[in-house]
Each structure stands twice: as structure tokens, then as C-alpha cells.
Structure 1
């Protein structure tokens, strides 16, 4: 995700703890998907991604190796930022982190 996207999420959903790949407390830019999945597993973080190409295969292998994830929210192609923010605001306000374990959902809803 772009720095603008992360900053916009932080501005509109202040209770959402947003980091992006490349931030100081996150994996560096260009980190392979497999490593990102391991990081998310260990850090207890939900992934918001536009990656519809390689992530599904990496996720299949991650599960085959006994991994889990804390939720994956995949952004629909062509989605408007306003609609993404609305969906994430609903997710943040109406659920707990544990509700998303091993769940994959398209956003906006």
C-alpha cells in the first residue's frame, strides 16, 4: 500500500493501528510474501492487500506448513478509498482481532 493510503487510514480511523511494509516497525519494502505472512502470524496483525496474484499461492503453502493468519482483507480492484475506509471502520468497530483468524474477506463489502 502507498504511504498516502496508510496515512489516510490513520487519519480517518484513529483507533486502527496501521503499519505498512516499509515502516520502521514492519518488514522492509520488497519483502517476499512468505516472510510477510510469517511476520503477520508472529505480530498478530491483519493484512490489508491488493495482491491478488501471488498471495493466494503463498497462503496455501503457509497453511500447509501449519501457519495461520490473523485475517486478510483483500481490496477489490477499482475500489474507492472512501468505500475502503467505510468497510475498515465497520471491521474495526464491530469485531475483535480474534474474529478474523484465518478469515479472508474482500473489501469494500
Structure 2
């Protein structure tokens, strides 16, 4: 399993807790953790960090993230992927999808894309 997730600072820590409870070998970091961008970091810098460290960003930022991704790609850069939480999605469904994605996806399957979860 080589998919790694960076959770946006606006997501509840319970996402990480539940992911790791169900899948202890999964790598799940949150904005603000040691070694990752601090809380308050602007999205373009977070995308660069995800690219440089090969983490898929998990966020609820539906409004501006498509613009930031387009700008990032226009600079000739790449991102391992962005997974945006759907409105009204239950945390259980999101956790199940994140575990499934990590288990069966190729490392570059979500590259340079925004996908919405649950799938």
C-alpha cells in the first residue's frame, strides 16, 4: 500500500482516527502535523507539498481547489490527486472509500485530478 493521504486542516481529526483504526498501516497526516505544512498554509503551497512528498490531498474545499489545481498544472507541475468530500456524505462512507482507494489504486491513478468521495 503506497497511497498516502494529507487531510486538510478543516477536516475533523476523527477522519484520521477512524482510518487508522480500520487500516493501521495507512499513512494519514493532517495539515499542522510535524513535517507538513502548518495550519493556515495557502492551498497552492499545500499542492506543491503534496507533489513533492507524494500525498493525495483529502479536503472539503469544493469552491477554490479546482482553480488552484488548474493554476498548479499550468505551471507544469503535478499533484498525486485531490479527493474532495461530497456534501452530506457520511464519515463511514468516506472512510470506506479512502481505505478502498488505498488498497486497490495504482500510485498515479488520481494524478492531476480532482475526484469526489464517496465515489
Superposition TM-score tier, normalisation by shorter sequence: over 0.9
* Cα distance in 2 for residues equivalent to 1:6 and 1:93: 16
**Number of equivalent positions:** 109
* Cα distance in 2 for residues equivalent to 1:27 and 1:14: 23
Tell me the residue number matched to 2:78: 68
Unaligned runs of 5+ in 1: none
Q: Could you list the per-position Cα deviations for residues 39-81 of structure 1 after superposition, in whole angstroms to 9, with x for gaps in the alignment?
A: 0010011111100111111111111111110011111011101
CA contact (8 A) 2:59 2:82 kept: yes
Unaligned runs of 5+ in 2: 1-10
Q: CA RMSD in A?
A: 1.2
- TM-score norm. by structure 2 comes to 0.85
CA contact (8 A) 2:66 2:114 kept: no
Q: Which has the higher strand share?
A: 2
* Cα distance in 1 for residues equivalent to 2:45 and 2:113: 19
Greater relative contact order: 1 or 2 (C-alpha under 8 angstroms, separation 6 or more)? 2
* Cα distance in 2 for residues equivalent to 1:103 and 1:61: 13
Q: Which has the higher helix share?
A: 1
- Taking the TM superposition and a 5 Å limit, the aligned residue runs for 1:7-86 are 7-86=17-96
Deviates more, 1:8-17 or 1:36-45: 8-17
- TM-score norm. by structure 1 comes to 0.92
Deviates more, 1:72-81 or 1:96-105: 96-105
Please identify runs of 4+ aligned residues in structure 1 that moved more than 4 A.
none
